[in-house]
Amino acid sequence: MKRSLVNLGYFIREAFTLLKLNGVSHLLSFVSIALAFFLLSLVVSTWWVSLQIIDTLQQEAEISVFISEDISQTDQEALTASITAIPGVMGVRMVSETEAFEQMAAILGEEAEVLTYFDENPFDAYLETSVDPSQAAVIYQELLLLSGVRHIRDNREVLHQIQSLTNLQRVLGLLFIAAAGTATLVVISHLIRQGVYQNRNQIHTLKLLGAPPSFIALPFLMVGLGLTLGGGLLATLFTRWALYLGYQQLAAPLPFIPLPPLTVLFRNTSLVILSLSLLLGIAGSAMGLKASRIQS
Amino acid sequence: MITANDMTLTYNDGTEALRGINLKIQSGELVYITGPSGSGKTSLIKLLMGAEKPTAGQLQVLNLSLPQAGEKDLLQLRQQIGPVFQELKLIDGRSVLENVVLGMRFLEIPSQQWRSRASEALEKVRISHKMMSKAEHLSWGERQRVAIARAIARKPSLILADEPTGNLDHDNAVNILQLLDSLRNQDTSVIITTHATHLIDRQRTSQLIHISEGRIVPQ
């Protein structure tokens, strides 16, 4: 280890010499790796956002209970009391037609103008029922049995659809990781083998002088790591830019989508991409060196 | 230091390079191995530096029994040897100084001594004025000297020089042989292969081994 540190300058110089030896190949590989990691980071980011949305929606378990139009005030109060008595219900609040209209106007934001096209308020009054998310399914069934309830709406369907989308994204993400990983491994391993072949005379001399395999291999390992880590780094920079743009596009027109904080999303995605590039760099270089049989 | 008993080397393609070789070389000796081209001199040098293993018989170099040696043992053996290759094997694109230092980077030599040892060795072979020149910009004779400097800067127990006078004119060849002769001491043996027997100073030679068709021929 101490000897490696003493020779660090030499290893870095050798790594640069190797990089220059096949400059164009290395540059193209670097760009390909960066592109693969960028696509991967986009898939990972959207997957992450979907998970975050599901998590947030699950925390905000609310059931909207629409009551029959011909129900009397007394029956409405009795119904409210019955709903409140159901275990797991944390609160019931009457939302008037006007309030429902205002809520939708707030959600639509700049697009709220569309509501002016209605001659009458198209929204019904309803009972906004806050529930324990873990008991939402049971409460939903019990509400259906109550008289005076016309229609029930909860976010389970939305959750289910997002969940399906997330599952698809997970599969896509894993496929992307496998594809980008395999491509990176093949590219790095091939470049290392090519480098070893082109430097075979120097390597042979070093072996005859008694250089240990680790001494010979380190510059090659640094080249592999440099390419993947550099590619990963470039990909995270592009990801930061893409996420920033994406948030600008999404957050303003769709303010009700519970997006995770941009900095947290970027930090987590970067961590995944850089860790992956580090692992793939080491693995690819090791594969290339093993195939080249750098031994005494 | 070196003993060989009935040693044979047959390459994978079936070529028998050496057979029935018996040797005994002590510490501090200057040994010449002579013979025509293709007689087996380079194969013997390869065996002595652990680049090949005998296919039969025994060979012991610097207390290491070659047929049984593992990769780690071979590595340690090579680190104790100062080789001067027939084709020199300098690294092009690197300076003379870097070529000499490269031979020490992985040895147990403190890094603070690398430059001083390299300068000293280059001084000894009278090429220190070209220390910063690229190896490929030197003449063959100068490259020869750098290769010797790389070997001696390591302060090895055994110097193995394979045809160090090849491609050199008479005066330069004599100078190189005298230089190699001067490197032997109590702890360092020098083994030189050459087919230029007329250049050998027999008075100063400990042993003269003549090889022909892979066998040692009595003189």
HSE-up of residue B91 (Cα within 13 Å, Cβ side) = 21
The total of structural domains in chain A comes to: 2
Name the domain boundary from B100, B123, B155. Answer: B155
Q: Report the complex ipTM.
A: 0.91
**Per-residue model confidence as pLDDT tens digits over A41-86:** 988 888 888 878 777 776 667 888 998 888 888 888 889 999 999 9
> Is residue B86 in a domain?
no
Cβ contact A210–B105 (<8 Å): no
User: Are residue A224 and residue A171 in the same domain, yes or no?
Assistant: yes
Distance separating alpha carbons of residues B118 and B154, to the nearest angstrom: 9
Minimum distance, in Å, between the CA of residue A208 and any CA atom of chain B? 6
Within an 8 Å CB–CB cutoff, is residue B56 touching chain A? no
Residues B138, B38 within the same domain? no
Residue B201 above 50 pLDDT? yes
Among the candidates B107, B136, B155, a domain finishes at: B155
Contacts with B, A 216-275, CB within 8 Å: none
What pLDDT is attached to residue A61? 73
For residues A262 and A171, membership in a common domain is answered with yes
> Judged by CB atoms within 8 Å, which residues 108-167 of A form the interface with B?
none
Same domain membership, residue A275 and residue A164: yes
Residues shown for chain A: 296
Which of residues A137, A154, A171 is at a domain's end?
Answer: A154
Which chain A residue lies closest to B72 (C-alpha atoms)?
A: A296
Residue B158: which of B51, B30, B69 has the closest Cα? B30
Residues A171 and A257 in one domain: yes
Q: Are the beta carbons of B105 and A202 separated by less than 8 Å?
A: no
Residue of A nearest to B87 (CA): A205
Both B174 and B74 in one domain: the answer is yes
Kindly state whether residues A21 and A132 are assigned to the same domain. Answer: no
Q: Looking at the structure, do residues B73 and B172 belong to the same domain, yes or no?
A: yes
In this complex, which of B74, B80, B102 lies closest to A296 when CB atoms are compared?
A: B74
Considering the domain architecture, whether residues A233 and A187 belong to the same structural domain is answered as yes
Query: What does the alpha-carbon distance between residue A26 and residue A31 come to, in Å, rounded to a whole number?
Result: 9
Q: Determine the Cα–Cα distance for residues B114 and B181; give it in Å rounded to an integer.
A: 24
The reply to whether residue A211 touches residue B111, judged by beta carbons under 8 angstroms, is: no
Nearest Cα to B147, choosing from B122, B113, B181? Answer: B122
The domain total for chain B is 2
Q: Are residues B25 and B117 located together in one domain of the fold?
A: no
State whether A71 and A22 are in the same domain. no
Give the CA-trace dihedral at B10, B13, B14, B19, to 10 degrees: -20
Q: Given pLDDT bands bounded at 50, 70 and 90, which one contains residue A31?
A: very high
Regarding whether B110 and B16 lie in a shared domain, the answer is no
User: Which has more confidence, B60 or A259?
Assistant: B60
For residues B151 and A205, what is the distance between their CA atoms, to the nearest angstrom? 12
Encoded amino acid at A248, one letter: Q
Q: Do residues B205 and B31 touch, judged by C-beta distance below 8 A?
A: yes
Residue of B nearest to A204 (CA): B89
For residue B71, list chain A residues with Cβ-Cβ distance below 8 A.
295-296
Cβ–Cβ contact B97 with A under 8 A: no
Residue B16 belongs to domain with CATH number: 3.40.50.300
The answer to whether B59 and B7 are in contact (CB under 8 A) is yes
Q: Which domain holds residue A118?
A: 61-154
B32 φ/ψ angles, rounded to the nearest 5 degrees: -105, 135
Quick: pLDDT tens for B47-106.
Answer: 999 999 999 999 999 989 998 889 999 999 999 999 999 889 999 989 999 999 999 999
Q: Are residues A171 and A210 in the same domain?
A: yes
Of A201, A208, A212, the CB nearest to B106: A212
Rounded to a whole number, what is the distance in Å from the CA of A228 to chain B's nearest CA? 27
| Chain B CB within 8 Å of residue A52 CB | no
> Rounded mean pLDDT of B117-124?
94
Q: Which of B74, B78, B158 to mutate to test the interface with A (most CBs of A within 10 A)?
A: B78
How close is the nearest chain A Cα to the Cα of B91, in Å? 6
Same domain, A250 and A223: yes
Whole-Å CA distances, A33 to A234, A274, B161? 9, 12, 47
Confirm whether B14 is domain-assigned: yes
Q: Are residues B161 and B75 in the same domain?
A: yes
Domain boundary residue among B114, B138, B155? B155
Is residue A6 predicted with pLDDT exceeding 90? no
**Looking at A119, A137, A154, which one is the last position of a domain?**
A154
User: Which stretches of A66-212 are DSSP H helices?
Assistant: 73-85, 97-108, 136-145, 156-198, 200-208
Residue B85 lies in a domain: no
**Closest Cβ–Cβ partner in B71, B93, B103 for A209:** B103
Asked if B78 lies within 8 A of A215 by C-beta distance, the reply is: no
A293 interface with B at CB cutoff 8 Å: no
Note the maximum CA span of chain B.
48
Residue B96 lies in a domain: yes
Q: How far is A210 from chain B (nearest CA, A)?
A: 5
- In this structure, the answer to whether residues B9 and B41 fall within a common structural domain is yes
By mean pLDDT, which of A63-67, A170-174, A272-276 is the weakest?
A170-174
**Whose CA is closest to B34, among B163, B130, B158?**
B163
Please say whether the dihedral angle defined by the alpha carbons of residues A28, A34, A36 and A38, taken in this order, is positive or negative: negative
Residue A296: which pLDDT band, with cuts at 50, 70 and 90? very low
- Give the CA diameter of chain A: 100
Burial, A164: exposed, middle or buried (Cβ in 10 Å; 0-12, 13-18, 19+)? exposed
A34, two tokens: 């960066």
Q: How confident is the prediction for chain A on average, in pLDDT?
A: 86
Summarize pLDDT for B7-53 with one digit per residue, the tens. 999 999 999 999 999 999 999 999 999 999 889 999 999 999 999 99
Q: Does B83 touch chain A (CB under 8 A)?
A: yes
Q: Which among B76, B79, B89 has CB closest to A205?
A: B89
User: Which of A130, A154, A178 represents a domain boundary (last residue)?
Assistant: A154
The answer on A288 and A229 residing in a single domain is yes
User: Going edge to edge, which strands form the sheet with B81-84?
Assistant: B81-84, B158-162, B189-194, B30-34, B207-212, B215-217
Instruction: Tally the C-alpha atoms within 13 A of residue B56's C-alpha that lie toward its C-beta.
Output: 10
Instruction: Check whether residue B160 and residue B128 sit in a common domain.
Output: no
Is B185's pLDDT higher than 60? yes
Q: Is the pLDDT of residue A146 over 60?
A: yes
Task: Tell me if B75 and A210 make a contact (CB, 8 A cut-off).
Answer: yes
Which has the higher per-residue pLDDT, B107 or A158? B107
Average pLDDT for A277-292: 91
**A254 and A178 together in one domain:** yes
Question: Between B179 and B193, where is the model more confident?
Answer: B193
For chain B, give the mean pLDDT.
Answer: 91
B76 and B11 in one domain? yes
Residues B19 and B66 in one domain: yes
A43 and A170 in a common domain? yes
Query: Angle, nearest 10°, between helix axes A213-251 and A23-59?
Result: 50
Q: Quote the domain boundaries for residue B74.
A: 1-80+156-219
> Could you give the CA distance from residue A203 to residue A220 in angstroms, rounded to a whole number?
11
For residues B2 and B75, state if they share a domain: yes
Facing residue for B105 by CB, picked from A10, A201, A207 = A10
- Whether the CB-CB separation of B158 and B80 falls below 8 Å is answered with yes
pLDDT tens for each residue of A89-138: 988 998 888 888 888 888 777 777 888 888 888 888 899 898 887 788 88
pLDDT at A255: 62
Residue B76 sits in the same domain as residue B171:
yes
Is pLDDT above 90 for B158? yes
If you count residue pairs, one on A and one on B, with CB atoms under 8 Å apart, how many are there?
A: 50
